[in-house]
Amino acid sequence: MTRRVSIFGATGSIGANTLGIIREEPEAYRVVALTGGRNIKSLASAAIELNAEIAVTACDDLLESLRDALCGTGVEAAAGEQALIDAAARPADWTMSAIVGFAGLPPGLCALEQGATLALANKESMVAAGPLLIDTARRNGARIIPVDSEHSAIFQALNGEKMQAVERVIITASGGAFRDWPLEALSEATPEQAASHPNWPMGQRITIDSASMFNKALELIEAKEFFGFSSEQIEVLIHRESLVHALVGFRDGALMAHVGPPDMRHAIGYALHHPERSHLPVERLDLAKIGQLNFQSPEPGRYPALVLVREVMAAGGHAGAAFNGSKEAALDGFLEGRIRFTDMARVVEREIENISVDDRAKWTMTLESVREADRVARVRAQETMDALDG
């Protein structure tokens, strides 16, 4: 039976890996929607090759180019935020959520409303609106399967286990581009330096977030929201080799570790084939050759994001949206050369101080309320950056 699949963020790093897995067995799938942003060439060529129903660019100004590229192929073209949501409303059995940033939330929610299985790479939506996503899935009989490698690892380690038996989870982190830099050099780090990851090839934004560990901070919230763990149950360990992705500790003292190469095709393929395990073209590890695995605790002074996130987890509610919104704005500021690498944490810290003085954490959560929390956080981040500029 062919499965209907849609891929949101098809032109990105996760999107390309997802397309690669689908290409291995194209007759097994019918591609409904493929979406992208500015990369019209790769969006159109994938849509034509896989005979998608529709290709959507997030950018209104690129609709004409997309139409031109798809002219005469029978693939529909559309553009803009609402078009992304409309594409998510088209019936599909499996939808990959791999847009980067908060923009992934509305189409992800819409896919869940259709009862689709949502393969969730877009961690920002779980961070900003975890309770809303989980509730929407529950109400519509939909499933969310994590694609973030650590969360896929936890998901797999929990298979067949009782949640009450879990004592703790350990999420590993490579330490990012600056793990060995002297601390005093971090304030001079450039976006190019931050965007070079020691182990994983990924999109630019998540790679910089790995250097600052904002990525790991987002993943702590993602684990809390997705699995329902408390902040105290979730630990972070630096693991330079990026081969152990996460460990689940049970009350009998056992630790179940997920070990595999740093290759996102594993987590994507697992989410695609779940509950089956199918052949995947990933490297098979030669442990004798690897010889040893190293673990160490992260230094709080190097990674302030890991300290800040604990306050966000304690506040709950819309604090996640505020955290993510200010982080995204601060990252834009760093990429534009407005603020330093080390200022990103200062911008987010200011937002967290605000979370404790207003009542955003307690608002009833809807898509609109989350959008508002995100908007307020971005405005405030601009103000903080203006102050830092000045």
Binding region for ligand NDP (CB under 6 A): 9-15, 36-39, 58, 98-100, 103, 121-124, 148, 200, 202-206, 264
Residues 230 and 164 sit within 8 Å (Cβ to Cβ): no
User: How crowded is residue 23: how many other Cβ atoms within 10 Å of its Cβ?
Assistant: 12
Please, which residue, 328 or 349, has the CB nearer to ligand NDP? Answer: 328
Which residue shows structure tokens 């509730």?
135
Q: Which stretch binds Mg ion (CB under 5 A): 26-34, 60-68, 145-153, 268-276?
A: 145-153
Partner that binds at residue 123, options ligand NDP, Mg ion, none, CB closer than 5 to 8 Å by kind: ligand NDP
The minimum distance between CB 102 and ligand NDP, in angstroms, equals: 8
Shortest Å, Cβ 262 to ligand NDP: 9
Does residue 209 bind Mg ion (CB under 5 A)? no
Identify which of residues 150 and 343 has a Cβ nearer to Mg ion in the complex.
150
Residue sitting closest to ligand NDP (CB): 12
Residue 337, sorted as left (phi over 0), alpha (psi -120 to 50) or beta, turns out to be: left
* Residue 222 makes contact with Mg ion by CB under 5 A: no
Residue 13 touches which of ligand NDP, Mg ion, none (CB < 5 to 8 A by kind)?
Answer: ligand NDP
Count of residues that bind Mg ion according to CB under 5 A: 3
Residue 200: which of ligand NDP, Mg ion, none does it interact with, CB under 5 to 8 A by kind? Answer: ligand NDP
Does residue 148 touch Mg ion according to CB under 5 A? yes
Minimum distance from CB of 253 to ligand NDP (Å)?
Answer: 30
124 binding Mg ion? (CB under 5 A): no
Question: Which residues would be at the binding site for Mg ion (CB under 5 A)?
Answer: 148-150
